[in-house]
Amino acid sequence: MQAADNQPAPAGGGRCDLAIVGGGLSGGLIALAAARRDPGLDIRLVEAGEVLGGNHRWSWFDSDLGEGGDALLEPFRKTEWDGGYDVAFPAHRRHLQARYNSLASEDFHAALMRELPQGTVVLNRAVDTLDAGGVTLSDGERIGARCVIDCRGIEDAPALEGGWQVFLGRHMRTAKPHGVARPVIMDATVRQHGAYRFVYVLPLGLDELFIEDTYYADSPVLDRRALGSRVEAYCQAHGWDGEILGHETGVLPVITGGDFAAFQDAARTEGVAMAGAKGGFVHPLTSYTLPFAVRIAQLVADNVTLPGEQLSALLEAEARRHWAATKFYRRLGTMLFGAAEPDERYRIFERFYRLGQPLIERFYAGKSTFGDRLRILSGRPPVSIGRAVSALVSSRPSLSRKSP
């Protein structure tokens, strides 16, 4: 690997082995995994923005990663908590022992610029079109490639159904030590505001916090002023004040159903592989992407010598397997949105967090066993059975951000 600081490559000229469009989590990890597998590969990682990874934070449990996952993520500077994490609900609080990790986008960018071979990264260059033979940039320059992978995320998904995860996070340095010993993954003791609302708190240092206000909402509307004021109120209630270092916002789909074949058809460019959210590799209920991004990066690296058309077919088939394997989580999402009143949705997670820790870990990793599924659905339900059945046989709104 290139040891010195990388410099972004000039965009056009020549032909490479692998062109990756989109320098977010999935695209960056694919580039790193492929370069590690075959240091002789000529790779271009094309990103329209100024930095790789955008303005995001990704978190995960150790148990989320399969074999080789830790090794792929080893170059990134991460915050790690060995002491587990907490959850809080109106009628239930709990400490769980699982090791938790978090990666900020600035550290993601720095590691990739350091680790990828010189000339791999192409920044500040928007893509006009792509095809099986390469990428054409918005200024007309062309990057030819044996294989092209589209990792640009989901702009619109009218073929899918569900709701939305809407969030606003604040990164701050407190005026004095904040006293938070470990992550609070869900604090749902807050007012719900017509959605399943919880606050997520990461102690990044003795005087550094990341606080995120998250909603499982029926619409993709993000009111920055309202959410910002609620984060401020939460901080004041806990005695935290100080310097604001930055913000993060997002609106992510929570997928409950739909026509996945139509989703793939709409996103497909013949001969171009799709990965990340664009390929359908997300946890449909939690919107987690990191465990799946790691797994797909490893899969691509294992098959990086394939022609583009074959790699495209391989990833589409893998996406269909992932869709089938995550059906259970989509049904839970259907019940969350359809069977519970918005202000009562927290009860579903409150009950879930009374279950065994190994089951909870497998749930987040998307690896729930048949026994796990029975356990989650057994016992006294937190919603009425009639409403749950009604939700399961009805459809949710389309995951389209465009007005009808």
CA-based end-to-end distance of the chain? 49
Q: Is 301 exposed, middle or buried (0-12, 13-18, 19+ CB in 10 A)?
A: buried
Q: What percent of the chain has pLDDT over 70?
A: 92
pLDDT at 11 over 50: no
Q: Could you tell me the pLDDT band of residue 270, with boundaries at 50, 70 and 90? A: very high
How much is the average pLDDT of 384-404? Answer: 66
81 closest CA partner among 11, 234, 183: 183
357/375 Cα distance (integer angstroms): 13
pLDDT at 5: 47
Single-letter code of the amino acid located at 334 = T
CB atoms within 10 A of CB 392: 14
pLDDT at 2 over 50: no
Judged by DSSP in three states, 179 sits in coil
Domain boundaries, the chain: 15-78+102-153+257-325
Q: Are 54 and 31 within 8 A, CB to CB?
A: no
DSSP 8-state secondary structure symbol assigned to residue 95: E
pLDDT at 68 over 50: yes
Contacts made by residues 220-227, CB under 8 angstroms, sequence distance 24+: 220/164, 220/166, 220/251, 220/401, 221/166, 222/166, 222/168, 222/249, 222/250, 222/251, 224/168, 224/249, 227/166, 227/167, 227/168
Q: Could you tell me the pLDDT band of residue 258, with boundaries at 50, 70 and 90? A: very high
Q: Are 49 and 23 within 8 A, CB to CB?
A: yes
Per-residue pLDDT tens digits for 102-141: 999 999 999 999 999 999 999 999 999 999 999 999 999 9
Please work out, in degrees rounded to the nearest 5, the angle formed at the alpha carbon of residue 117 by the alpha carbons of 139 and 112: 85
58/56 Cα distance (integer angstroms): 7
Q: What percent of the chain has pLDDT over 90?
A: 85
Q: Could you tell me the pLDDT band of residue 397, with boundaries at 50, 70 and 90? A: confident
Domain 15-78+102-153+257-325 architecture? 3-Layer(bba) Sandwich (3.50)
pLDDT at 383: 59
Q: Are 173 and 245 within 8 A, CB to CB?
A: yes
Sequence-ordered alpha helix ranges (H) in 68-195 = 69-73, 105-115
pLDDT at 388 over 80: no
Burial 314-339 (b: 16+ CB within 10 A, else e): bbbebbeebbeebebbbbbbbbbbbb
